[in-house]
A and B are shown apart, each in its own frame.
Chain A
Amino acid sequence: MFTDRERLEAQKIRVIKDCLNETPIDIEGLKRCSVEEFGFVNKVLRKRIWPLLLNIDTNNIINHSEKIINHKDTDQVTKDVERSMWRFTKGNSQLRNRKKPELTRIVNAVLSIHPQLYYFQGYHEIASVLLLISDESLAFAMLERLSIYHFNDCMLPNFAEVLKVLNLIFPLISMVDQHVYNFIIKSQVQPMFAISWILTWFSHNLDELDTAARVYDYLLSAHPMASIYLSVCVITSQRETLLNLECSFDSIHAFFTSNLPELDFDKIIKQTDSLLEKITPSKLQSSSKVYLLPESQLNRYPYDWMIFNNNNTTTNSKSSKLITNNKGTNQKRQQIYKFIFFILFGSISLFGTFVFLSIKSPNTFKHINSFLSPLLFNLFNNRFNQNNITNGETVSNFNQ
Chain B
Amino acid sequence: MEKKKNLEQDCIFRIVIIGYDYECGIKSLLKKFTLGEFSPFPESQVGVDFDIKTINVDNQDIKLQIWPQNKYFNDTSDKRDFLYKGAHGYLLVYGCHSQKSFDNLLNDWMVQIDKFSNEFSKRNLVLVCNNSETPETYMTKPNYLVDSNITKQWANSKNIPFFEINPKENFNVDEPFIQLARLIKNQNFINSTK
Contacts and interface: CB of A to CB of B under 8 A. Distances in A.
A183 to B, nearest CB: 14
B48 A195 contact: yes
A248 B75 contact: no
Nearest to A197: B47
A76 B43 contact: no
A158 B76 contact: yes
Contacts of A82: 41, 139
A379 interface: no
A250 B47 contact: no
Interface residues of B, number: 25
Contacts of A342: none
B38 interface: no
B161 to A, nearest CB: 26
Contacts of A195: 46-48, 72
A204 B79 CA distance: 22
B186 to A, nearest CB: 23
Interface string B121-140: 00000000000000000010
A196 interface: yes
B48 A86 contact: no
A192 interface: yes
A86 B43 contact: yes
B44 A250 contact: no
B75 A160 contact: yes
A253 B194 CA distance: 14
B8 interface: no
A142 B47 CA distance: 23
Contacts of A339: none
Contacts of B48: 192-193, 195
Contacts of A192: 47-48, 72, 79
Nearest to B40: A83
Contacts of B76: 158-160, 163
Given A163-B79, A190-B82, A204 B46 contact: yes
Contacts of A98: none
B147 interface: no
Contacts, number: 71
A41 B83 CA distance: 43
Contact of B45 (A121, A162, A250): A121
B43 A84 contact: yes
Contact of B44 (A84, A87, A249, A253): A84
Interface in A238-296: 248-250, 253-254, 257
A370 B71 CA distance: 96
Contacts of A84: 43-44
A250 B193 contact: yes
Contact of B75 (A121, A125, A158, A204): A158
Contacts of B181: none
Interface in B1-44: 12, 21-22, 41-44
Given A163-B76, A190-B82, A250-B12, A80 B44 contact: yes
Given A79-B22, A163-B76, A249-B193, A254 B44 contact: no
Contacts of A86: 41, 43
Contacts of A79: 21-22, 44, 139
A83 B41 contact: yes
21 contacts: A79-B22, A79-B139, A80-B44, A83-B44, A86-B41, A121-B45, A121-B46, A122-B47, A124-B44, A125-B46, A158-B75, A159-B71, A159-B75, A160-B76, A192-B47, A193-B48, A195-B46, A200-B46, A248-B193, A248-B194, A250-B12
Interface of A: 76, 78-80, 82-84, 86-87, 120-122, 124-125, 157-160, 162-163, 188, 190, 192-193, 195-196, 199-200, 204, 248-250, 253-254, 257
